Amino acid sequence: MSNFWSVKESEPKREHRWIMNIGGIPQCLVKKVSKPSITVSESKHVLLNHAFYYPGVVDYEKTSVTLVDPVHPDATAMMWNVLFQSGYGLPDNPDDKVTMNKESLVGALGNVTISQLAGDGTIVEEFMFLNPWIAGIKFGELDYESDNLVNLTLDLRYDFVKFTRIADNEWQDISGGGAEGSDTPDTALNDVR
């Protein structure tokens, strides 16, 4: 599409047009998020003076979320609540044998999605995180010489992401498919255009 910029209906996705659903956290607290990142591992095979590489496992990297921390609703209290609902307990009761597990971690956080929006507010694409849980919480920094808002940073771990997009006013699931129809190198790219 060489005339992309001359077509008024064509518009690039913008960094400020998005909403995030992260459990019961109000959208107004979510300040910044990293979209999913994927790494494909590789195996190296050396033969004489040559090196050959083969793709390995797809690994989804942690996603970082920044929340603003107002007095009400209190984001710090929300994160402590998620932590304790996940099975964590203070070491003040020797009879308490409950520990964290994946089911309780995922259940405490709830559903997580990132929806990118068009200029008119309609959703153009969505990332749904499967089995998300909080892998890290940073409760921000305090500084007498600053009047900035206090921010919390969350690291989200998840198993994988389901990606869907809107085209011609219909949801299209792009996540599945595997290698079907991959008889030419650019088939997958042609399917999305």
Q: What is the pLDDT of residues 18-47, one digit of tens each?
A: 999 998 899 999 999 999 999 999 999 999
Q: Which pLDDT score, from 0 to 100, does residue 40 have?
A: 96
Alpha carbon of 143 to those of 32, 72, 75, 147, 148: distances in Å? Answer: 21, 21, 19, 8, 9
- 177 pLDDT band (50/70/90 cuts)? low
Mean pLDDT, residues 130-148 taken together:
95
Please say if the pLDDT value at position 142 is more than 80: yes
Domain ranges of the chain: 12-174
| Residue 28 CB-density burial (10 A; 0-12 exposed, 13-18 middle, 19+ buried) | exposed
Mean pLDDT, residues 3-22 taken together:
84
CATH level 3 topology of 12-174: Pnp Oxidase; Chain A (2.30.110)
| Local structure of residue 160 (DSSP, 8 states) | E
- 176 pLDDT band (50/70/90 cuts)? low
